[in-house]
Structure 1
Amino acid sequence: MPQIQLAPSDIYYSQSSISHCFTCNGTEHAGKTLVETVNDILLGLCRITDIPKISVVRKGDVWVTADNRRLWVFRALESLGQCDRVPVKITRYMCRKKNVIKKEVKIRGDPGKVLYELKKSLHREMEDVFLALASIYLGSN
């Protein structure tokens, strides 16, 4: 199977909705939510290369994948500046059930919290702590 590198945003989904978590498939991210997988990569607990390559098929002028959840993770990482291209395997066929060509996808279930939202919240809490410490320090002088 030939392989090329594509920007995740240049690959289309083959379903209109996806599950919020990965199934138990023997990989490191099995059973985790999509966002947990993104967070694990951002925190260095796993690497992008730990996620199996996605397969793509050419439909007209666009690339489409049946590996929709992995594509969602790669797109999330791309939007955070962590991934500009991913290696993909070119295939000839795709499951007949996955016959949609969509640029966006809806997530079924709760995908969890994204790390940068948590980082913003923690940053605000730390600012409050520093302000409290500064006022205690300045008040004692």
Structure 2
Amino acid sequence: MKPSEIFFSQDSIKEKFDNGHTIYSTVSVCKKHPYVINKIPRMRVCKKDGKWYTLDNRRLWVFRKLEAEGHIKDVKVNQVSKDRLPAEKFTTKNGGESVVIRQPFVESDEDFDDFF
């Protein structure tokens, strides 16, 4: 699927993944080393009200950025039941068009060898 055809299920995201890497450093590494894109776990998506929403909002942010800059055209996804997206997690207020990043951007010099 094209990342631009998938919508955010939440209204905001943290700037860091659970592994400590930021969404910004992930985009940067993917641009420098395109094969890294395939190491990112597939996004889970579900259909709700005729639209595809992700359960993995930070990944979608990264993939949308890469698509917008011409680095990718589409990504492989795993389709899941909309039951996997509980009402309390569906917080988008703009139909999933965009998200707010909760922490401010800080430039990082993360080393690629530490990335995965």
Which band: TM-score by shorter chain? Answer: 0.7 to 0.9
Instruction: Say if 1:40 and 1:46, in contact at 8 Å, map to a contact too.
Output: no
User: Is residue 7 of structure 1 aligned with residue 14 of structure 2?
Assistant: no
**What is the TM-score of this pair, normalised by structure 2?**
0.81
How many angstroms does 1:15 deviate by?
A: 0.4
Q: Distance in 1 between matches of 2:34 and 2:6?
A: 26
Aligned in 2, Cα 1:89/1:45: closer, same or farther, shift over 3 Å? closer
Amino acid in the other structure paired with 1:9: S
Equivalent residue number for residue 60 of structure 2: 71
Aligned mates of 1:88, 1:76 — CA distance in 2: 17
Structure 2 portions without partners, runs of 5+: 108-116
Residue in 1 aligned with 2:99? 105
Residue 22, structure 1, aligned to residue 22, structure 2: no
Moved over 3 A (4+): none
Task: Give secondary structure in 2 for the equivalent of 1:74.
Answer: helix
2:36 to 40, 47, 58: 47
Listed one character per residue, the Cα deviations across residues 70-124 of structure 1 (whole Å, up to 9, x for unaligned) are 00000010011001110011101223122134111110112345xxxxxxxxxxx
Determine whether 1:38 maps to 2:27.
yes
Shift of 1:65: 0.8
Amino acid at match of 1:98: K
- More RCO (CA 8 Å, sep 6+): 2
% same residue: 36
In structure 2, what is the Cα distance between the partners aligned to 1:86 and 1:8? 7
Q: Tell me, what secondary structure is at the counterpart of 2:7?
A: strand
Unmatched runs of 5 consecutive residues or more in structure 1 = 1-5, 24-29, 114-141
Deviation digits for residues 18-46 of structure 1 (CA, Å, limit 9, x no counterpart): 001101xxxxxx21110000001111186
